[in-house]
Structure formats: C-alpha cells, structure tokens
Structure 1
Amino acid sequence: MQKLIALFIGCILFSIADAQNNQLPCSKPEYRQFDFWIGEWEAFAPNGKKGGDSKISLMLDSCTILEEWTSTGMQNGLRYAGKSYNMYNAAQKRWQQYWVDNTGSITQYFNGHYEDGKMIVQTANEKVNDTLWQIQKMTFYNLSPDKVRQHGETSSDNGKTWVTSFDLEYRRKINNPTVMIDSILRSMENAYNKGQYRMLASYYSVNGKIVSNNTSINGRIAITDYWKSLIALGGTWKLSNEKTEKVGEQIWQKGVSVITDKTGKEHKVNFTLVFVREDGLWKILQDAYW
C-alpha cells in the first residue's frame, strides 16, 4: 500500500508541475513508449491455441494504459479475466503495472523499463510460501504493427535463472476499421472539449496535413497551432462517422464535423480523413474538409 501511495503522490506532483508549464501532464515521449500495445487483440500460445482476447486503451488523458483481458477457456466454471493499469512513473523514471483479476489476485510489476523496442516489467522478490521466494517478469516485444509477443517468466533464485510461465503472440483485430476509427473520433472530441490542442495534434502523422479550399497546413507544429486557434472557439465538438473503408494499407473515413461554439453558433463541415499506420498506431495523414 505504501508503494501505491508513493506512486499516486508522485504522479499528482508531476501533473501539477507540468500543468504550470501549460503542457499536458503526460505529453513527454516516455509516456508513449508502451503505445505499441494499444488496440484490440487475440492472443495465441506457441501451439496455435487461442488463449484469450485483450483490449488495450488509453485513459486518464493518456496518462494510463488500461488492459482488459478475458481468457478463452473455462476453468471450474469460471472464465478468467483481469485488468492492468500501466503508467510511466516520472518521479522514479520507470514503468509500473498493477494487475487485478476475478480470482482476487493482485500483482505489482513495479520495476519496469523500455529498451530496444520492448517493454520489460517485473515484481520484487516476493514470498510465495514458507520455502519459496519468486520474481515474476513480463517482456512485451513490438514485433510489428499487428503483432506483440508477451513472454512471462519466473525466477526462484533472485534472477539468476528464469523459467517460462507463459508465451503469447498478440494478433491485432483489424477486420473492423469502423470500430477503430470510431474510437479515435471519440478521443478527438474529448480532447477538443477539454481544450487539449496538443493532444489533437498528436493524432496526426509526422507528415500529416490539413487541407481545404483556403487552407493548407503541414507538419506537427503548424497543426498544433491550427488546433490551438480553433479551440479558442470554445463550446463542444461532435464528429459523425458516415463511412469507413480500408484500402490497402490505409483507412479512408468520411463524416461530418459540428462545432457548437461558446456563443451557441454552429460551424458545420464535411470531411474526409486518410489514416496510415505509424509506430503501430493509426494516424491521420490527410484531413480534408469543405
């Protein structure tokens, strides 16, 4: 419990300091190291048998990565399920995961770091019974935009040797692009309604651009400035998803954007977004509106 209290206090203090600098609390690159895990997945064992389904999403203004796991098989009439909360602890400069499940189990992987395209988290050397102390470790390998390997290991000799406890290959569910794009649009609405213009700019690719009859904006800095000026309208933003289609390695999406500003005036445009994969995430390559 003391570790958790320290974690939460550290996060709060860091958030206050960053807010004073007019930045989102979790806008630094370290917080994005585990974003390759975000998405909806099916997980398979080395023998090809499906182990379960997992949904990984951002929450709390992109400060925390939420894992929601459900096993495929039943054991003693129970379908195993659990959730984990993953976050970069800026005060301690390390990643931490807190796991809870429907058997009443709690596991704290509070010693984590990112290196060479993989995330490694592990527990302290903890007492299992009167004769056994054990460290649990998980390594997440970013194999490709659509595959992640999760390798679980245990050590009973304080890290000298390791034994595999599980080995899963996560395969991204990519058959329903509408679901993925809907999730992005809802997150963009939320960012606008909270005045988070930097967050809105983060949904665009490195080479992203915004175009219209009278507008041509290229690059992250220019797009950030664009959203900063647009958010000055205030009010609320609503996006509709009228059509989504995957074409080769891109997703094309058409919809309607309505900003109801702080005076109650509606600003309505039609738009087309072209999404591409960048660092494992779908990003906007072109935002065209009229």
Structure 2
Amino acid sequence: MKHYFLLLFGTITLSTFAQKPCESNPKYNEFDFWIGDWEVYGKKGLAGHSKITKILNNCIVLEEWTSANAQQGLYFSGKSYNTYNAATEQWQQTWVDNAGGTTEYLTGKFENNAMQFLSRPFKNNNNGISIRRLTFYKLENGFVRQFGEISNDDGKTFTPEFDLEYRNKSTTIEAEIQSILKDMEMAYNEGKFESITGFYSQKGKVIGSNTEISGEEALKKYWKSFENLGGTWKLSTTSIEKIDTVIWQKGTSEIKDKQNRIHKVSFTLVFTKEDNQWKILQDSYW
C-alpha cells in the first residue's frame, strides 16, 4: 500500500510538471515588468544595482541586489524570490541578504499597473509589532518605482521607509550622455566658452584634421577662441555605445555663428569615469 501511494504521488507530480503551469498561466507573468538589468536610484543618487530574471520554468522572479557603496567595509547584497501562489491566489516574496536579514511577504497582488506586497507582522526594535508594505509601480517611461513603507499600528497608517527608481542601464547611460551634451550646448549658448573645459577629463584632448590639443590651459584657450564665432551650438547624436569602461558617442556638431553662417562637423567623443562622473577623454572631429 505504501509503495502504491508513492507511485501514485510520483505520477501526479510528473504529470503536473509536464504541463509547466507557470508557462501556461498568465498570472505568473504579472511581475515581468520588473525583469531587467537595472541601476537603482534614491534621493541621494545611485543606491545599487539589481538584476531581475525569470528562473525555474517561469515560476520565479529572481532579484539579485548589490549596493553601490560599502558600509563599514561591506557591500550590502541580497536576493528575493517572487512567485505567484496558485493555492492562495496571492503573490509572495521572500527576501534574504548577507547581513542575516530576511523578510516574508505572503500577501501580494497586481492591479492598476502596480505589484503590492504586505509582510507578515514582525517584532520591531521597540518590542512592538510592525508590518511592511512594498509596492512596485510600472512607470510609463519603462522604469520601475519601488516604494517601501512600515506600519506600527496594525496597518492603519504607513510611514515611508525608502523610495527607489529602477532605471535600465542602457537607458541610463544614454540619458546621462545626452544630459552632458545639453549642458555643453547651454554653456556655449550662454557665452561661457571656457567652462566647457570642465567637461573634459584630466587627460582629455581634442583632435581635428590639423589640431591636437591637450591639457586644461590649452583646452581653455581653445574654447575661448570660439568667442569670435559666437552664435548658437547644436549637438546631435547618431549612436551611443558602452564598451568595457568607456562610452563612445558619435554625432554631428552644428554652430550657427553671429553672421548666420553654418559650421557643421561630425565627431566622436570617448567618455571615461573620473571622480564618479563621465568626462571626455577624447574629442575627435572631421
């Protein structure tokens, strides 16, 4: 009788497995908007990096988190396992980290383009009972907002704990470079020609058909010479690509001078990180 039960149980398990329920039930795809390779930003800037993938035949949304900065020599890292529980008809999340922490959210649902979890009640530092609420918002620009809150009155009111925005890495890099180009345009158009030197790295250089300029003072002199040209400056991008630790940006530069003459060239900028900021290592034009 015992052997018969084990055989029957094994048959049921194999039959269920063969159906791959997580791939056929659309409920398991409700949290797919979080999937991606993200840079995560808080109010003070970059907070960490998070990679979200699907594992176990579409059944689990796996989060792998690493903080951007070390605290007391330790980079905080953790993982969360997110899945839809067909028996309870709830989404649930289990978080574990390298500081020994763990949080269980056994109540969760997706509605109005947001995934919201509630944690189990737990004892807080004041020997009271708290509940955490965790909400992921699917934003129109493709980013994801993660909003964490805590309640110390059995869920009657909640206080914010953190507010993070997940930005796709490739999208973030493009946005950063475009922002730098806009600031360079603004400096030129406001007549602050020498200040454009500040966008170059300490080893930055400008290379043209008959020009090669390097060093801060030489670059200042180079950009100051544009006072004679004046007018307005427009930078357009054709491509942005990150290769290893540098970014290659290609585009066209167009200056409409004080005499309404057009000066247009193609260029390639090579950016490198310096003091945690993207700076121009090489500026080539033709």
CA shift at 1:74, angstroms?
1.1
Hey, what does 1:59 align to over in structure 2?
55
1:36 aligned onto 2:62: no
* 3-state SS, counterpart of residue 157 of structure 1: coil
Greater mean alpha carbon deviation, residues 59-68 or residues 136-145: 136-145
TM-score by length of 1: 0.52
In percent, how many aligned pairs have the same letter? 46
- The alpha-carbon distance between structure 1 residues 103 and 88, as it changes in their structure 2 partners (threshold 3 A), is same
Hey, what does 1:138 align to over in structure 2?
134
CA shift at 1:98, angstroms?
0.6
Rounded to whole Å, the distance in 1 between the matches of 2:136 and 2:84 is 15
CA shift at 1:68, angstroms?
0.2
- The alpha-carbon distance between structure 1 residues 100 and 13, as it changes in their structure 2 partners (threshold 3 A), is farther
Matched pairs, number: 164
Equivalences for residues 235-246 of structure 1 within 5 A: none
1:163 aligned onto 2:175: no
* 3-state SS, counterpart of residue 174 of structure 1: helix
Of 76, 79, 83, the match for 1:83: 79
Q: Which runs of 5+ in 1 are unaligned?
A: 1-11, 177-246, 249-290
Query: CA RMSD for the aligned pairs?
Result: 2.5
1:149 aligned onto 2:171: no
What CA deviation, in whole Å up to 9, does each residue of 1:22-61 have, x standing for no partner? 63220201000000000100111134x1100000000001
Hey, what does 1:71 align to over in structure 2?
67
Rounded to whole Å, the distance in 2 between the matches of 1:150 and 1:45 is 10
User: Contact 1:14/1:90 (CA < 8 Å) preserved in 2?
Assistant: no
Greater mean alpha carbon deviation, residues 53-62 or residues 138-147: 138-147
* 3-state SS, counterpart of residue 28 of structure 2: helix
1:45 aligned onto 2:21: no
TM-score by length of 2: 0.53
What CA deviation, in whole Å up to 9, does each residue of 1:144-197 have, x standing for no partner? 363000000000001111111000010012269xxxxxxxxxxxxxxxxxxxxx
* 3-state SS, counterpart of residue 160 of structure 1: coil
Tell me: higher relative CO, structure 1 or 2? Use CA pairs within 8 A at least 6 residues apart: 1
1:118 aligned onto 2:114: yes
User: Contact 1:95/1:113 (CA < 8 Å) preserved in 2?
Assistant: yes
Q: Which runs of 5+ in 2 are unaligned?
A: 1-9, 173-237, 240-286
